[in-house]
Amino acid sequence: MLVFDLFLTGMALTSISSRMVNPGVFRGSRKDFLLGEKAAYVAGVQEGYVHDALVDIQRKYLKRYPISLPHGEEPSSESLASIDDNAPDPKQEEPDKEKMEPEAYAEAMKAVEDRRSLIVYRKAVRFHLFVWLPFTNQQSTSAAN
C-alpha cells in the first residue's frame, strides 16, 4: 500500500496524483455510494482517523457490492435496500483439508486465494479514489474562481 504510506507521511497529493486509477470505473450506484461516503472520509482525515474511516467505508461497500458481483454489474435495488450496515459481516469458511479430496482442496484453496487477491485489489482501488476525490474538488473549486 505504497500510496497509503505516502498519504500518511504527508507527501503532496499532486506528487502521487499521476498514480491514481481512472475514476470512470465507478459508475451508477457504486459511484453514488462512494460520493455519499466522502463526508465520512473527509471527517476521518480532519479528525485523525482516516484509516478507520477507510476500513468502514470499504466494509459498507463490500456489503453492497460483494466480491462475487462482477464489477460492471449493478446489484438490484431490492438488494441495496436490504443492506444492514450494523449486521455482522459473514465469515468466510476455509476449506477443510481433512474432509476433501486433494484435487478438490487445491481448487477450493485457489478460489480462496483468488478471492483474497480480488479483495486486496478492490480495496486499493477504492483507497485511490478517496485520495483522488479531494484533489479533484480542489481543482474544480480553483477553476470556478
Residue 9: the pLDDT is 35
Phi, psi for 83 (deg, rounded to 5): -70, 130
Please name the residue that has the C-alpha cell 453514488: 32
All three cell numbers of 85, joined, read 450496515
Of the candidate ranges 12-21, 78-87, 127-136, the one whose mean pLDDT is the lowest: 12-21
In tens, the pLDDT along 2-58 reads 333 333 333 333 334 444 445 456 778 888 888 888 888 889 889 999 889 888 988
pLDDT surpasses 90 at 135: no
Residue 67: the pLDDT is 83
CB atoms under 10 Å from CB of 1, counted, come to 11
Q: How far apart are CA 124 and CA 132, in angstroms?
A: 12
Do 95 and 105 meet the contact criterion of CB atoms below 8 Å apart? Answer: yes
All three cell numbers of 35, joined, read 460520493
| End-to-end CA gap in the chain | 35
In tens, the pLDDT along 86-127 reads 999 888 888 999 999 999 999 999 999 998 888 887 777 666
pTM of the model: 0.63
Q: Which amino acid, residue 115?
A: R
Contacts of 30 by beta carbon, 8 Å cutoff, 6+ apart = 61, 65, 74
